[in-house]
């Protein structure tokens, strides 16, 4: 038996091919399809009607309302109502209504397993790779095709291995790793699978590994993946998932064809900030210069999980948000909110002056509360700072870790969090 990468192994299993190589096109059976309220039912239902097709297997569909929640106008209310009706009519039992952001919910409810082939109607679908699944983002038309047939064509990707050796310093986290990568690897790693490994990756909790895979989307990659280990299995079990130890087999073979290996030293990484209007526009926080901010935003799948809120709380404990700044916090899921309420994290944040927003995508993509006015400057723990994404086309969004966002909220300008941590 010849050696294969993790991506190749999953596509072999899903396509039934005895062997596949990077560059080939395979037609594969999908194990799970995830959709949300924005790209989901409202867009796929008309296509399914045109095809006179039904959902191939309602058990294999996860639907999440997160983009337009809670409704802010009649249009978003209509989108949500349509989403709920569609879930009901199509027998979708795994419908998570307003329980959190889709990528986070998928993991909280243990819908993912190592070795699965998953498609998601969202570009941050590589998030699923954090547990060793092969998960790719697709658009609505393609989703309709998957729902009708249970299949998709995929080009087998080359694998690029990103190895982080050493250990992260205090006040530095997965978001900093990814902002540095967006700069150093660039954003055009199209059609590649990025495999993260090395001591600094192994040391990360699952929620932080998620950030690496999630922001693989910003590298332009097809997907990001981390081979499962004991931590992966423990997390799936803790979330109520049933999984055998044999799932640890889902990893690249020793001599698999890796296109290239890039090494980084986690110990030398400083907090990173991406200046407008691209995540690749990043630099060490002390290189940014004095940038006064109007808003600090802690939100999104990548930046408002429990670990992220805890990072912010570490900085904010006993401090106050600067008078001219509004600090907005939109927890990534209902469970995040519950856990952060229980362990005192929310109390720390609100005592510092943070305004709590509803769970959901919120201002991340400019759909929900917290968007920016003309010329306003925001530092945000979200994944993208494209021009106009978070509000007015002239607004300026800087990206940073929850540590950095919290520190900047306190001082009122983009700030190195290491100075404020105790």
Q: What is the DSSP string of 266-322?
A: GGGPPPEEEPTT-TTSEEEGGGS---B-SEEEE-STTT-SHHHHHHHHHHHTT----
Contact 392, 376 (CB under 8 A): yes
Q: Which residues 17-46 are close enough to bind another protein by CB under 8 A? A: 25, 38-39, 43
Question: For residue 197, what are the β-bridge partners?
Answer: 163
Contact of residue 68 among another protein, ligand SF4, none (CB under 5-8 Å per partner type): another protein
Nearer to another protein (CB atom), residue 172 or residue 217:
217
51 lies in the binding site for another protein (CB under 8 A): yes
Point out which span in 143-151, 301-309, 339-347, 403-411 binds another protein (CB under 8 A): 143-151
Give the span between the Cα atoms of 357 and 368, in whole angstroms: 10
Point out which span in 287-295, 302-310, 329-337, 383-391 binds another protein (CB under 8 A): 383-391
Q: How far is the CB of 170 from ligand SF4 (least distance, A)?
A: 27
Neighbours of 188 (CB within 10 A): 11
Nearer to ligand SF4 (CB atom), residue 118 or residue 301:
301
Q: How far is the CB of 212 from ligand SF4 (least distance, A)?
A: 15
Q: How far is the CB of 404 from ligand SF4 (least distance, A)?
A: 18
Nearer to another protein (CB atom), residue 65 or residue 307:
65
H or E segment to which residue 377 belongs: strand 377-380
Q: How far is the CB of 226 from ligand SF4 (least distance, A)?
A: 19
Q: Which residues 195-234 are close enough to bind another protein by CB under 8 A? A: 220, 222
Residue 29 DSSP SS3: strand
Phi-psi region of 201 (alpha: psi -120 to 50; beta: other; left: phi over 0): alpha
Q: What is the DSSP string of 327-347?
A: EEE--SBHHHHHHHHHTTHHH
Contact of residue 172 among another protein, ligand SF4, none (CB under 5-8 Å per partner type): none
Give the span between the Cα atoms of 17 and 15, in whole angstroms: 5
Nearer to ligand SF4 (CB atom), residue 301 or residue 321:
301
Q: What are phi and psi of 253, to 5 degrees?
A: -70, 155
Question: For residue 380, what are the β-bridge partners?
Answer: 297, 399
| C-alpha triplet 379, 380, 385: angle, nearest 5° | 95
Nearer to another protein (CB atom), residue 223 or residue 272:
223
Contact of residue 125 among another protein, ligand SF4, none (CB under 5-8 Å per partner type): another protein
Displacement of CA 252 from its chain's centroid (Å): 23
Residue 206 CB contacts under 8 Å (≥ 6 apart), including other chains: 107, 130, 131, 231, 232, 235
For another protein (CB under 8 A), the number of binding residues is: 48
387 lies in the binding site for another protein (CB under 8 A): yes
Q: Which residues make up the interface to another protein (CB under 8 A)? A: 25, 38-39, 43, 47, 50-53, 68, 73, 75-76, 79, 121-123, 125, 137-142, 144-145, 148-149, 153, 187-188, 190-191, 220, 222, 278, 365-367, 371, 384, 386-391, 393
């Amino acid at each position: 038996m010849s050696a294969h990468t993790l991506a190749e192994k999953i596509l072999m299993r899903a396509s039934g091919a005895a062997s596949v190589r990077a560059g080939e096109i395979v037609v594969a059976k999908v194990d799970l399809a995830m959709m949300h309220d924005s790209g989901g039912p409202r867009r796929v239902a008309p296509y399914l009607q045109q095809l006179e097709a039904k959902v191939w297997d309602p058990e294999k569909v996860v639907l999440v309302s997160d983009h337009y929640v809670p409704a802010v106008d009649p249009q978003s209310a209509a989108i949500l109502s349509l989403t709920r009706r569609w879930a009901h009519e199509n027998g979708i039992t795994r419908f998570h209504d307003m329980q959190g952001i889709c990528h986070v919910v998928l993991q909280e409810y243990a819908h993912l397993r190592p070795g699965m082939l998953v498609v998601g109607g969202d570009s941050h679908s590589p998030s699923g790779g954090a547990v060793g699944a092969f998960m790719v983002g697709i658009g609505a038309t393609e989703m309709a095709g998957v729902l009708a047939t249970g299949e998709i064509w995929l080009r087998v990707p080359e694998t690029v291995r990103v190895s982080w050796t050493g250990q992260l310093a205090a006040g530095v986290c997965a978001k900093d790793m990814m902002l540095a990568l967006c700069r150093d690897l660039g954003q055009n790693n199209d059609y590649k699978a990025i495999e993260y490994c090395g001591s600094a990756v192994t040391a990360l909790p699952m929620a932080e590994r998620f950030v690496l895979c999630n922001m693989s989307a910003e590298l332009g990659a097809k997907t990001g993946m981390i081979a499962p280990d004991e931590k992966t299995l423990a997390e799936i079990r803790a979330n109520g998932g049933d999984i055998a130890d044999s799932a640890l087999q889902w990893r690249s073979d020793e001599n698999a064809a890796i296109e290239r290996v890039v090494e980084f030293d986690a110990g030398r990484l400083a907090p990173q900030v991406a200046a407008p209007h691209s995540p690749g526009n990043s630099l060490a926080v002390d290189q940014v210069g004095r940038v006064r901010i109007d808003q600090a935003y802690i939100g999104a799948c990548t930046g408002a999980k429990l670990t992220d809120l805890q990072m912010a709380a570490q900085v904010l404990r006993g401090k106050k948000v600067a008078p001219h700044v509004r600090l907005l916090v939109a927890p990534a899921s209902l469970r995040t909110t519950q856990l952060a309420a229980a362990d005192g994290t929310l109390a720390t944040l609100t005592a510092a002056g943070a305004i709590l927003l509803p769970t959901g995508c919120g201002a991340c993509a400019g759909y929900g509360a917290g968007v920016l006015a003309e010329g306003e400057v925001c530092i945000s723990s979200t994944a993208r700072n494209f021009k106009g994404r978070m509000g007015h086309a002239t607004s300026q969004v800087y990206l940073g870790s929850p540590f950095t966002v919290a520190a900047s909220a306190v001082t009122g300008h983009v700030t190195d969090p290491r100075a404020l941590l105790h």
